[in-house]
A and B are shown apart, each in its own frame.
Chain A
Amino acid sequence: MFNPFKKTEAPKLENIEELPSEKPEALEVEEKLDDSEPIDVRLEALTDYFDQCEKHGIEMTKEMVETEIRDRLGIEIDDLLGEQISDPELQLTHQELVSRINELMSQKAEEKGTPLSFLRDKFKSKFARLAVMTALMLLKFNPLHAADHKDTKENIKDKIEHDTKKPVNHDGDGDKTFKASFEDFNGKVVISATNNFETDKADIHNADNLKADFDKFLSSIDKTNFNDLIGQDWIVKGSSDERKTSRPGGNPVLTHDRIAAVKTILEEALASHSFANKLSVEQIKQISEKQIKEVYPTSGAEEGVTHLTDLVNPITGHNFTDAEVKSIKESNPSEYHKLLDQCRYTNFELAVKKSVPVVEKIEPVKPPKVELPVKTPDQPKIFIKKNFDKYYLLVDDSPSMSGTKKNMAKELSTLDVDKPFMVANFSENLSKISYEKNSEKAAKKMMRMDTDHSSSTELSMSSAIKFLETIEKQEDKQIKNNEVLPRGIMYVATDETLQDVNQLQKLTELSAKTNTEIEFLVFYGQGNKVLKLSLDDIQKQMDKNNLLKVGNRLVIKKLADSNGKVIVSR
């Protein structure tokens, strides 16, 4: 059993250099970590040991790695992870998950014709290190670890809240790096100091860079634009997001203190800036007396705080509701954090007239821009064809599709198609079909659609059949009279491989009967990318025998993108 308090030994890394590399087993351990050393210290010592071995060209064998971990941590490598699940409600789920993963991997190894143990052994030493790293990270989440450091319950609570309030910066490690930026857009000058603060703190860091940005702005002021700028309000505008802070006095105090910190820097910069030769004496007097005002939210439930429900939902055109916020928080954490980012800022702002040319020329002083991969979905893909009489939208209602649903809704809201839309969710079953007058209303419906957590199977093809059977019933008379039905198009959106494809023939017949073109949209890559499949495309997959039998159903085994890269597999 994993015992974080177990007495163990630490490597004496200094000795490694003296040892012949061909006999690493001979490493002597002369120092021991006592019982008081927490598990993370021992794990880090083990990591250092691995690093030293690598540095000295010592190739760790499987046996060496296993021995080191067993001796130093008192646990088998395969048990290193997951032994900290003490919650009785979760133990069973955890063990079951371990078992399912092992089953799946054994099955894959069997398909590959190579024993799993062999595959695992091939990179054992490197994977073992990876496991150790993971264990280190695990400790950061583990309340037991906090106890290990003799933290009080309150401290642990504070720590959790502190961590959750840490700014999510999509530009990288923003809370540690100077990020003040100077922007000129739509007649507004903004110098953002939002990321100059540590979590829950109001001590500004990289103040010199912020001052340099402001100096840049001040240097742009001359006689030609003075009157336009001096007459405007110069403000430092701040807000905290709604999450709790450990700062005494709460968010209102945090907001105020941050504004004050920025204001102080700017006032000092203004006082020390030289306007000589650029402004008249009277103008210099005026600008040196210019007051910088403080602005913060006052109308909400908490002064100095912008709540998520204060923001406008771009889809509905109204403020986010509590239910929408809850849904976003649960189903799309990235989006949730982006919304929080909108609520948390400390900026210098100045509205200027567009006619002030010199201000528009001001170049921002920014740190080198590093393009970081942001897990936010791209702009919605154009997936809806026009010129149809009716539109049918079927969307997989699993939680992983929530971001995609939003993207589809965004696109729908921009289409301006004044044709009837029928919208439904599906999992194992097709939900109730909703009838909407146009694309805008269909978009709103899509945003409101629930996510189903109870189903484990998404039967896209069966659901499409049920949907078209409904259409068939509705249009029964016209079909019997051989009348040409209004031309419809059905989109079936999912992020799983296609299931129940043995019913393709039936779907093809219904497609013809109801005069409906059908397109399956398989989303992948965090919902940014989509693979479009017509019924013909699916038939081709079947012809290639790219199929797998699951119970009495046939599913497409693997779907690949245009480059042949597998994107979804069963």
Chain B
Amino acid sequence: MSNLLITPILFEYAFLDDLCLEAANILNLDSSKSAHYQQFKISIFANFNRYLIDSISFLPGDVVENIFNELAPAMKAANESQTLDILRANLDFFDELRIEFLNIIKTLKK
């Protein structure tokens, strides 16, 4: 369970870095200011996770079960091909979330 969702989404796909950079661009934040940007990443990370969790809860129960119950054992067993198949099947879903999340960020722009 320890790698569930977070690792693949945020690291294998460089999802977090891209998301943070895009969000920083929208808000005109300087990504070169290391400490400041690290804090910003934490904020984006935390909020995206919160948003991700809520979004998953809107999915039909069987889909949620698939995400939790298929992906976790596959990752635990280090079955890469199976893990990747499951992730691919859900990739569009994460892309949609990314776009909507960035739209929320845009509403913060004064």
Contacts and interface: CB of A to CB of B under 8 A. Distances in A.
A149 interface: no
Given A127-B57, A373-B87, A565 B92 contact: yes
Interface string A88-111: 011001101110110011001100
B36 to A, nearest CB: 6
B38 interface: yes
A451 B25 contact: yes
Interface string B15-48: 1011001100111100100111011111101110
Contacts of A371: 84
A17 B104 CA distance: 46
B33 to A, nearest CB: 10
Contacts, number: 187
Contacts of B22: 331, 399-400
A64 interface: no
Given A400-B99, A456-B107, A51 B45 contact: no
A134 interface: yes
B74 interface: no
Q: Main SS of the interface on chain A?
A: helix
B60 to A, nearest CB: 11
Contacts of A127: 53, 56-57
Contacts of A524: 92, 95-96, 99
Interface stretch (A135-143, A200-208, A280-288, A417-425): A135-143
Interface stretch (A114-122, A250-258, A339-347): A114-122
A131 B49 contact: yes
Contacts of B95: 524-526
B81 A370 contact: yes
B80 interface: yes
B57 A122 contact: yes
B96 A568 contact: yes
A187 interface: no
Contacts of B56: 123, 127
Interface residues of A, number: 74
B100 A399 contact: no
Interface residues of B, number: 64
A157 B45 CA distance: 21
A45 B9 CA distance: 24
Given A82-B47, A333-B14, A97 B105 contact: yes
B6 A134 contact: yes
Nearest to A451: B25
B62 interface: no
A130 B106 CA distance: 26
B77 interface: no
A134 B81 CA distance: 24
A544 interface: no
B42 A142 contact: yes
Contacts of B42: 82, 84-85, 138, 141-142
Given A89-B36, A112-B58, A137-B6, A82 B100 contact: no
Interface in A542-570: 565-569
A495 interface: yes
A101 B21 contact: no
Contacts of A134: 6, 45-46, 49
A567 B94 CA distance: 11
Contacts of B12: 372-373
B13 A51 contact: no
Given A84-B42, A142-B38, 5 more contacts: A82-B46, A130-B6, A133-B1, A373-B87, A453-B25
